[in-house]
Structure 1
Amino acid sequence: MAHGLPLAEAMRLLAGATLDEEAPDPDWAEFVAGPWLAETLRGLRAPSTLAAVDPGPVLNATLRPYQQEGVRWLSFLTRLGLGACLADDMGLGKTIQVLALLFLFKRDGTDGTLTARPSLPVAPASLLANWMQEAARFAPDLCCMLAHPSGMAREALQALDAQQLTGVDLVVTTYGTLPRLPKLREVSWRLVVIDEAQAIKNPAAKQTREVKKLKADARIALTGTPVENRLSDLWSIFDFTHPGLLGSERVFSGFTKRLSETGHFGPLRILIAPYILRRLKTDKRIISDLPDKTELSAWCSLSTVQAIHYQEAVKALARALGSSVEGIGRRGLVLSF
């Protein structure tokens, strides 16, 4: 009987990113991808080589070449049941790439290959209007629902369940609203998308825990900053999109500590590369007709009264810091000024 490795473990071995300290000795152990995995990895690492997909005229927009590649890449991953981290620069159209993907799902759902089920984008409240406006503009044929107090009566919102989502393609909610809608955790979503995915960088935060409880065929993280401050930010996002790939938080912390001691993060980059796609506005190969950013420095001088108040605040803070305040109390004191 043939025995295979779980995909996550196979990917770690191929990347040389064994998470525990007992890594196989490279002098006697060599790992090679089989034909299927090798072909799959080629497609994930070079989306331009993937077969073209076309959402059709129902998408009220013409996708740029890099967006077409993004949709192919997202489609390829999600059809394999894998997650994705689309980390394009802000302004490169991450939302419209997801909308195009939903049209592919909707079309395929009519021929029995996929069950037509709703998808759930979770976004900061500041992006709700953007999601609804872009859906109305580019995807008017999608049936959209705003699961938020701003778009639905509170009683109806609390009663929202899978039965009421029949025929709905897209349900948009916020990180703050999600914990108050426990019935959404019972829905089997076709796709869960987290926008501004750095919002779940804290694994202990309530909104992070709630997002990770959602059930879906595939998960997508959208973020222009996959790592804001620490590599643990990346772990939390991948724990959502690819649970288990980077191990537990404790194991990943030990793994990255060992990598930092060697100064070589290649194994981590190789491990996550198939699942993260990042394009930059500064790359002329991606978008050549975007004008260069113009930066202007505007100096604003304080008035005499403002300068006096500022100096008084500085002196007051210095006196307060001169006391015995330590630790988190000291940090809170600084932030209070």
Structure 2
Amino acid sequence: FFLIFCYNVFCLSGCMSDPDESVRLLSTHCFATLIQLMPLDSRSKCIKNEIPSAELQQRKIRDREFLDYLFTPKSIPDYKVPVTISVELRSYQQAGVNWLWFLNKYNLHGILCDDMGLGKTLQTICILAGDHYQRHVDKATSLPSLVICPPTLTGHWVYEVEKFIQKSNILRPLHYVGLPIGREKLRCQIGACNLVVASYDTIRKDIDFFNTIHWNYCVLDEGHIIKNGKTKSSKAIKMLKAKHRLILSGTPIQNNVLELWSLFDFLMPGFLGTEKQFIARYSRPILASRDSKSSSKEQEAGVLAMEALHRQVLPFLLRRVKEDVLTDLPPKITQDLLCELSPLQERLYEDFSRTHLNSHWKDCLQSMGDSDSISKKAHIFHDLRYLQNVCNHPKLVLTPKHSEYGKITLELQKQQSSLDDIEHSAKLPALKQLLLDCG
């Protein structure tokens, strides 16, 4: 039974990426059923005499290894990235790459949900480079990969790929941005560039084009963006065809457990059933158990639903928080920089303190208990906000309505200066020096 069981798992894992949607759905549904049985089978003991063939014994060992890797990611051996990476991976990053390699090897899909700042991008670049290199060595069909991220991160992805894989031609990124006419001209470059980086909104607009390509990897950075499966972007992205699917998100669940269904509907459609089935089986019992008025029976049902959901999805999620990897992180250095006010800031600060602040404080103290004391306290907070803005930058308070605006701007013009010059702020020159020190 064990051998047949694992053989079915291996066959189904490959079929879950089949270009035919009906094959994908049927395979994923069967795979989801087998996953529920895996924890029970992994504890079973097999008597050696029950496996007469040496070949079957070797297969038994290999299959047991698969289950160990699936449920205990720490047991996965180190995967050596076959191309040069211009940075040394920290131990937890190497463990993340190992897990991504395991998913790749068995045609599985998952969510890397490490805390922000732990290197999800780097780990993903490593497995992308390794897989594209291996496909090149094996002379497999050339398939491009697709990274989808918020528009503010598209340039960052291209920069990171070129930074970490600078000595290799394995990953050739294409920054797919711009106006519709410009994007249409970029399409002919996908043959020469094997990694396309685009935003969610761009994919939605150009889905008729992207849907015609069978991708190697489809990576969703900040993948929780598709948590609402009813949005146009979510529907468009779930139309994409890819051999490997990966979600990166530091917060895979933000509001309710139903968001998890939408993420897995992209990774493995049908793995958690239909949306209605998921609500009935998991979401509704879990939410009901959290109600302060819930009965003991409802609370028990909620616990059972949560345990069942964990058993179903945890093998396909890898999450490390900063507290877990503190020993691998460089020491945090906190440094206070004292910034002296510029002459203009000092002038504005002292003028306001002398003409406004002292009188407002006296009025507030004298009116303690009066009916209008609340409005006078509001004046005090307004004054403090003014002084805070002065300390940040004088331009925040020196508007045309300011009584000193004309006089000060005229003085600055005579000095061939303006309010936009950074020397009039205490903090901007300090920030500039920090950036220069950091290279």
TM-score, normalised to structure 2, is 0.59
Higher RCO (C-alpha 8 Å, min separation 6): 1
C-alpha distance in 2 between matches for 1:293 and 1:229 = 33
C-alpha distance in 1 between matches for 2:316 and 2:77 = 18
Displacement after TM superposition at 1:238 (Å): 1.1
| More helix by percentage | 2
Whether the aligned pair in 1 keeps the contact of 2:148 and 2:220 (CA below 8 Å) is: yes
User: Is 2:34 the counterpart of 1:10?
Assistant: yes
174 and 293 in structure 1: CA distance in 2 versus 1, 3 angstrom threshold: farther
User: Is 2:275 the counterpart of 1:266?
Assistant: no
Show CA shifts across 1:185-213 (max 9, x none). 11110000001011000010000011111
Deviates more, 1:112-121 or 1:284-293: 284-293
Displacement after TM superposition at 1:285 (Å): 5.8
Match of 2:414 in 1: none
C-alpha distance in 2 between matches for 1:50 and 1:79 = 12
Deviates more, 1:53-62 or 1:214-223: 53-62
230 and 303 in structure 1: CA distance in 2 versus 1, 3 angstrom threshold: same
Displacement after TM superposition at 1:56 (Å): 3.9
Residue 135 (structure 1) aligned to one of 158, 161, 177: 161
Match of 2:410 in 1: none
C-alpha distance in 1 between matches for 2:126 and 2:273 = 32
Whether the aligned pair in 2 keeps the contact of 1:197 and 1:222 (CA below 8 Å) is: yes
Larger Rg: 2
Residue 320 (structure 2) aligned to one of 276, 279, 294: 279
C-alpha distance in 1 between matches for 2:260 and 2:139 = 33
User: Is 2:233 the counterpart of 1:215?
Assistant: no
57 and 291 in structure 1: CA distance in 2 versus 1, 3 angstrom threshold: same
57 and 218 in structure 1: CA distance in 2 versus 1, 3 angstrom threshold: closer
1:188-267 paired onto structure 2 within 5 Å: 188-256=214-282, 257-259=284-286, 260=289, 261=298, 262=300, 263-264=302-303, 265-267=306-308
Whether the aligned pair in 2 keeps the contact of 1:8 and 1:245 (CA below 8 Å) is: yes
C-alpha distance in 2 between matches for 1:62 and 1:122 = 26
Displacement after TM superposition at 1:51 (Å): 2.7
Displacement after TM superposition at 1:184 (Å): 1.0
Whether the aligned pair in 1 keeps the contact of 2:155 and 2:175 (CA below 8 Å) is: no
1:310-321 paired onto structure 2 within 5 Å: none
Residue 198 (structure 2) aligned to one of 173, 176, 193: 173
Whether the aligned pair in 2 keeps the contact of 1:281 and 1:287 (CA below 8 Å) is: no
Displacement after TM superposition at 1:218 (Å): 1.0
Show CA shifts across 1:165-201 (max 9, x none). 2232210000011122121111110000001011000
Match of 2:379 in 1: 304
Match of 1:124 in 2: 150
AA in 1 matched with 2:307: G
Match of 2:86 in 1: 60
Matched position secondary structure for 2:116:
coil
C-alpha distance in 2 between matches for 1:165 and 1:273 = 35
Q: Which runs of 5+ in 2 are unaligned?
A: 10-29, 45-59, 290-297, 336-376, 383-439
C-alpha distance in 1 between matches for 2:251 and 2:316 = 15
AA in 2 matched with 1:117: L
Matched position secondary structure for 2:276:
helix
Show CA shifts across 1:103-145 (max 9, x none). 1112211222643321101001121122122112112232110
Match of 2:138 in 1: 112
Deviates more, 1:111-120 or 1:34-43: 34-43
TM-score, normalised to structure 1, is 0.75
Residue 147 (structure 1) aligned to one of 159, 176, 182: 176
Match of 1:326 in 2: none
Question: RMSD value over aligned CA atoms?
Answer: 2.7
Matched position secondary structure for 2:243:
strand
AA in 1 matched with 2:218: V
C-alpha distance in 1 between matches for 2:96 and 2:232 = 31
Whether the aligned pair in 2 keeps the contact of 1:232 and 1:253 (CA below 8 Å) is: yes
Whether the aligned pair in 1 keeps the contact of 2:145 and 2:196 (CA below 8 Å) is: yes
C-alpha distance in 2 between matches for 1:184 and 1:73 = 28
Q: Which runs of 5+ in 1 are unaligned?
A: 16-30, 295-301, 308-337
Displacement after TM superposition at 1:290 (Å): 4.3
Displacement after TM superposition at 1:75 (Å): 1.4
C-alpha distance in 2 between matches for 1:43 and 1:216 = 23
C-alpha distance in 2 between matches for 1:53 and 1:74 = 9
174 and 156 in structure 1: CA distance in 2 versus 1, 3 angstrom threshold: same
C-alpha distance in 2 between matches for 1:284 and 1:206 = 38
C-alpha distance in 1 between matches for 2:215 and 2:126 = 17
AA in 1 matched with 2:201: G
User: Is 2:80 the counterpart of 1:72?
Assistant: no
Displacement after TM superposition at 1:69 (Å): 1.1
Deviates more, 1:270-279 or 1:103-112: 103-112
How many residues align? The count is 281
